[in-house]
Amino acid sequence: MKIKTSKLFKSIAISLCLLLAVEQSGFAQVAGQVDIAGHLSALRNAIVLDKFRPLHLRYLQYDSQANNFKLLLDKGNLKTLSNSFVESSTQTLLKYFFIGVTLPNDSFWVNLRPDSQDNIIDPFLAQTDIGRILLETDVQLKKDTASFTSPSTPEGKEYWDKLYAKAGELFGSQNVTIPTLTRPWIVPAEIIIRETNDNAFIYKATLKVLLEDDYLKGSTVYNFDDERLKELNIYASQVMREKIIPKLTQEVNTSKRYAPLRQVYYSLILAQWFKQKFNGQPGVYSNLMVKDNLFPAVPKII
């Protein structure tokens, strides 16, 4: 909705950037046979202990000859699950998976910026629930950024105190509007997945928040008539990295309001794995990959 470089996680990063297309991430992979009982016992130590963990896909196996899927769902923090809830949730999570399979990777982006009003969301993604979730997440990220930088909060007060002190150092008593061109992005963080030829199990999948300039490695160009304003903006970004970004990252990975994003994240990770394993291989779903058919028939689930 942002591990070492690999084709799989480059694809995941592209699929999950919330502002512009992402192209880089990382990945730790362990090959071997899948032991479901062992996985379940290891989950407690392998995953981030979220404050709220939603129901999400954890394991997928595909039999291309029989065209069957086997799934393992992590129930998260939910104590009791009705059959109807599990069934409807499974269909929702599978819909995310198939959207990830059937749409090109570069369709997964949203861009809620006032200077790009004609470039908000890919038109195909806009027809899907994932598109809605990414837009809602981007709005929530902006709200949380505003909240954490509000002078009414301890971290926000410290943030502005530091900026005003720096502005005084640079401009003296001269009145100045403090520039805060520090746009946050949500990108993939650590992903650990175990796979065989026909299945994959996600041990761990976390997200992180980066400033736009950090992700683009300094290629973002901001025009400042005064070099002092440029220096002040650089300083504002540094304070954001130290005081605000860690809190945003924690919220994205643990809070209930970002739970739909994390559900999408797990489904898209498995979708990217599925694309790499079965694209061009025999089977019904290989023919649907990277097509504009958004909702293929739901498979038989065992």
pLDDT one-digit tens code per residue, 90-110: 999 999 999 999 888 888 888
pTM for the model stands at 0.79
Determine, yes or no, domain membership for 108: yes
By percentage, how much of the chain surpasses pLDDT 70?
A: 72
pLDDT band at 63 (very low <50, low <70, confident <90, very high): confident
pLDDT at 56: 95
Q: Alpha-carbon torsion 43, 49, 51, 53, what sign?
A: negative
**Tokens 């198939």 map to which residue?**
98
Determine, yes or no, domain membership for 113: yes
Determine, yes or no, domain membership for 267: yes
Calculate the dihedral angle through the C-alpha atoms of 186, 189, 195, 200, rounding to the nearest 10 degrees. -40
Helix axes 227-239, 154-171, angle to 10 degrees: 160
pLDDT at 302: 39
Mean pLDDT of 4-18: 46
Question: Which structural domain range is residue 17 located in?
Answer: 7-288
Determine, yes or no, domain membership for 110: yes
Residue 19 has pLDDT above 80, yes or no: no
Mean pLDDT of 272-301: 65
Distance of CA 201 to the CA centre of its chain: 18
By percentage, how much of the chain surpasses pLDDT 90?
A: 39
- How many domains, the chain? 1
Determine, yes or no, domain membership for 204: yes
Residue 5 has pLDDT above 80, yes or no: no
Determine, yes or no, domain membership for 143: yes
Mean pLDDT of 113-125: 78
pLDDT band at 6 (very low <50, low <70, confident <90, very high): very low
Residue 282 has pLDDT above 60, yes or no: yes
Pairing of strands 68-74, 300-301: parallel
Mean pLDDT of 53-67: 90
Q: Read off the pLDDT of residues 183-235 as tens digits, 9 standing for 90 and up.
A: 888 989 999 999 998 999 999 999 999 988 787 775 555 666 778 888 888 88
Number of H helices, E strands in the chain: 9, 6
Tokens standing for residue 205:
């999948």
pLDDT at 221: 53
In whole angstroms, what is the distance from residue 216 CA to residue 56 CA?
31
Residue 144 has pLDDT above 90, yes or no: yes
pLDDT band at 299 (very low <50, low <70, confident <90, very high): very low
